[in-house]
Chain A
Amino acid sequence: MTGTHDEGPRGVARSEAPRPLDGDEEALLPELVAHLREHRTKLRQEWVSRIREENLLQAMTSQEMSAETTSVYDNYVEVLETGSVAALQQYARDLSERIIPRGVETHEVVGIVLLLRDVLARSLFEKYQRDFGMLNRVLDAYEPAANRIANTVAVSFVDERERVIRQQQDSIRELSTPVLPVRERLLILPIIGVLDRERARQLTVQLLGGIRTHRAKVVVIDITGVPGMDETVANHLVQTVDASRLMGASVIITGLSPDIAQTLVTIGVDLSKMATIGDLQGGLEEAERMLGYAPSRPDGAPMP
């Protein structure tokens, strides 16, 4: 058994600073670990039944539950033994990766770890109930380690969740401003949903980059799906149109809703430089005319 333990102060479980243990305590942890190993099956089953009672982890089948609890238990005891949380961290991250898509909540994860901590503490109480001084020392050795484990698991879980959320945000952002080349040198940007500042900025980057890559001459920005915008965003839109012009592309804005039109006029954004056309269809016809295509009108007569 390893002789060194890095024990954080009680409750502050992330601290990795090793604290020298007196020989007595040092001998205690291995004894404790041996006890937990010996009663592994019984304690684990007790733990599982407690989880059931508390209605935690209902998303899991009983086989999964049995597999996961076994490995959590073994990891738990191992961390108690070695004092190293790195392996547990790795395991907690893998576990989180598996269970987050199944809708397991933070309180469930924290809940099961605290339950295990409780189950093990109770078994220690039972074992040392006759020797109060001994019990005290055992708990002194056990609790900081247990706290650190609970903390590690919770933090890993939340970290993993945040990582997933960040990833999703990124993909939503990418989806939110598609730049579609419809014809040679003609781009369409359909915008759906509220345009906030971040999205407006994203729009500018995508549009100007798109003009460059697709060598666009005309861009139609369709904002039929935008319920409203504030002054900052409106100004940003005007600037984007100007910047596109500097890159040699004309921008046509289509689908201004009555609300937005009213807002824009009321807040006094300079719209004289913006080409606007009622709907996307009209915008596309105008764009094709500018590009020199001759779209036929519904009546069959070619455009001039």
Chain B
Amino acid sequence: MTSGPRLFSILRQGSILIASIHTALDDSQLERFREDLIDRIGRDRAKGVIIDVAALDVVDSFATRTLRGIAEMARLRGAQTVVVGIQPDVAFVIVQLGMDTGSLVTALDLEEGLTHLAATAGASIGPAR
């Protein structure tokens, strides 16, 4: 990682990974984010992943594609992904520009995302068994 403030953080809580993006990432930073996150899924044996993008006020097509890719890869490695905290403006721009969000699961905020994962993936925030 380059010096300076961290651009994203990946925290483990029970069997769920909570990845929050702190600031707008450029393409290479996004790739780095993807690699770190996919790597952590295997290491932490996560069942669910939450990606918090509440801090982003711009999401471009590359970011959309990357998020979709992460969800797909996570599924292949045995974890469900929920993207949370998409801002109203961002949501509309994503749709308006016709960026394909595919099967991306989204929720309003972190709390909603956790509820969703608990219901569908059986992932819990308690200590991993």
In the complex, whether A239 has a CB less than 8 A from a CB of chain B is: yes
**A239 vs B95: C-alpha distance in the bound complex, in angstroms?**
6
**A243 vs B96: C-alpha distance in the bound complex, in angstroms?**
9
Question: Using Cβ atoms and an 8 Å threshold, which residues of chain B touch A301?
Answer: none
What's the minimum C-beta distance from B13 to chain A, rounded to whole angstroms?
20
Our pick among B83, B92, B104 for the contact of A208 (Cβ within 8 Å) is: B92
What's the minimum C-beta distance from B117 to chain A, rounded to whole angstroms?
13
What's the minimum C-beta distance from B69 to chain A, rounded to whole angstroms?
17
In the complex, whether B63 has a CB less than 8 A from a CB of chain A is: no
Q: Which residue of A lies closest to B64 (CB)?
A: A246
Question: Using Cβ atoms and an 8 Å threshold, which residues of chain B touch A20?
Answer: none
Question: Using Cβ atoms and an 8 Å threshold, which residues of chain B touch A276?
Answer: none
**A293 vs B128: C-alpha distance in the bound complex, in angstroms?**
32
Interface positions of B from 56 to 78, Cβ below 8 Å from A? none
In the complex, whether B107 has a CB less than 8 A from a CB of chain A is: yes
What's the minimum C-beta distance from A186 to chain B, rounded to whole angstroms?
13
Selected interface stretch from A25-33, A36-44, A209-217? A209-217
Q: How many residues on A have C-beta within 8 angstroms of the other chain's C-beta atoms? A: 19
**A205 vs B83: C-alpha distance in the bound complex, in angstroms?**
21
Interface string of B84-100 (1 = CB under 8 A from A): 10101101101110000
**A244 vs B106: C-alpha distance in the bound complex, in angstroms?**
10
Our pick among B101, B109, B112 for the contact of A246 (Cβ within 8 Å) is: B101
Q: How many residues on B have C-beta within 8 angstroms of the other chain's C-beta atoms? A: 17
In the complex, whether B55 has a CB less than 8 A from a CB of chain A is: no
Question: Using Cβ atoms and an 8 Å threshold, which residues of chain A touch B95?
Answer: 239-240, 242-243, 246
Q: Which residue of A lies closest to B86 (CB)?
A: A246
Q: Quick check: B92 and A212 within 8 Å, CB to CB? A: no
Question: Using Cβ atoms and an 8 Å threshold, which residues of chain B touch A239?
Answer: 92, 95-96
In the complex, whether A204 has a CB less than 8 A from a CB of chain B is: yes
Our pick among B83, B89, B96, B108 for the contact of A211 (Cβ within 8 Å) is: B108
Q: A205-B88, A208-B88, A209-B88 are in contact. Are A248 and B94 (CB under 8 A)?
A: no
Interface string of B27-71 (1 = CB under 8 A from A): 000000000000000000000000000000000000000000000
Question: Using Cβ atoms and an 8 Å threshold, which residues of chain A touch B92?
Answer: 204, 208, 239-240, 243
Question: Using Cβ atoms and an 8 Å threshold, which residues of chain A touch B89?
Answer: 208
Q: Which residue of B lies closest to A239 (CB)?
A: B95
Q: Which residue of A lies closest to B107 (CB)?
A: A248
Interface string of A201-240 (1 = CB under 8 A from B): 0001100110110011100000000000000000000011
Q: Which residue of A lies closest to B84 (CB)?
A: A248
**A247 vs B88: C-alpha distance in the bound complex, in angstroms?**
7
Question: Using Cβ atoms and an 8 Å threshold, which residues of chain A touch B88?
Answer: 205, 208-209, 211-212, 243, 247
Q: Which residues from chain A sit less than 8 Å from chain B, CB to CB?
A: 204-205, 208-209, 211-212, 215-217, 239-240, 242-249
A-B contact pairs, 28 of them (CB 8 A): A204-B92, A205-B88, A208-B92, A209-B88, A211-B108, A212-B88, A212-B108, A215-B108, A216-B108, A239-B92, A239-B95, A239-B96, A240-B92, A242-B101, A243-B92, A243-B94, A244-B91, A245-B106, A246-B83, A246-B91, A246-B101, A246-B104, A247-B91, A248-B84, A248-B107, A248-B108, A248-B112, A249-B108
Q: List 8 additional contacts besides A240-B95, A248-B106, A248-B107; criterion CB under 8 Å.
A: A205-B88, A215-B112, A216-B108, A243-B95, A246-B86, A246-B91, A246-B95, A246-B104
Q: Which residues from chain B sit less than 8 Å from chain A, CB to CB?
A: 83-84, 86, 88-89, 91-92, 94-96, 101, 104, 106-109, 112
